[in-house]
Structure formats: C-alpha cells, structure tokens
Amino acid sequence: MITINIERDQVGNIVEFFVEGHADYAPSGEDIICAAVSAILQTAVFGLINYLKLNPEVEVEDGWLSCKLESKIAQDVEVKAILETMVAGLEETEKSYSQYIEIKQ
C-alpha cells in the first residue's frame, strides 16, 4: 500500500507531503500505480524547484519521498497551484486504485 500524507498549516496551505510504501500492483519496474504516484509527486517537486526556483527540503529513497516548505512560502499562489494540482491528481488516482493508495490529509 502507498500511503500519502499531506500536512497543512492552520490556514490550509500545504507545508509538507510525504509518501511511503509500494503498491505491489505489479512487479517492480512494471507497477503502473507506483509510477503514476511517483510521477505526480516528482512533477510537483520539479515545479517548485525548476519553475519557481524554490529550495524545499526534499528527501528521496526507495519507497519514500518527502517535501517540506516553510509556511510563508506555502502561501504563494503559484506554490498553492502546483501543490493543489498534485493533490487533485493523487485523489483521482486513488479513486481508481483505492486498494493500493491511501491519502491522509
């Protein structure tokens, strides 16, 4: 099971997200669910770093990705757009594969 945790500040801005686990939908390298979740999360991180030129605290290991932002940065409208789009993509993926993905908000 892939578990995705979305942490928000007191006004609802995403300040941290992290994912752990594997879907075990298919063998490693063929698992479309792991690939989808990974692509959505990494695209959000790339948007923050490459497009917005931010420096979030990011950690990536096998079966683990985390990204943490300062609350002040999380208030930016472009940051919100990237991260809320990420959540929308994850939620739509979860709808189709709920036995493999769990989102905690």
What torsion, rounded to 10 degrees, do the Cα atoms 92, 95, 97, 103 define? 80
Q: What is the mean pLDDT of residues 7-17?
A: 97
The length of the chain in residues reads 105
Residue with tokens 């490693």: 28
pLDDT for 16-70, tens place per residue? 999 999 999 999 889 999 999 999 999 999 999 999 999 999 999 988 999 999 9
Q: Which fold has domain 2-64+73-104?
A: Alpha-Beta Plaits (3.30.70)
Domain ranges of the chain: 2-64+73-104
- pLDDT score, position 62: 87
- pLDDT score, position 28: 86
Give the SS3 label for residue 34: helix
The pTM is what? 0.95
Q: What is the mean pLDDT of residues 81-103?
A: 98
d(CA 9, CA 85): 18
Say if strands 2-8 and 101-104 run parallel, antiparallel, or are unpaired.
parallel
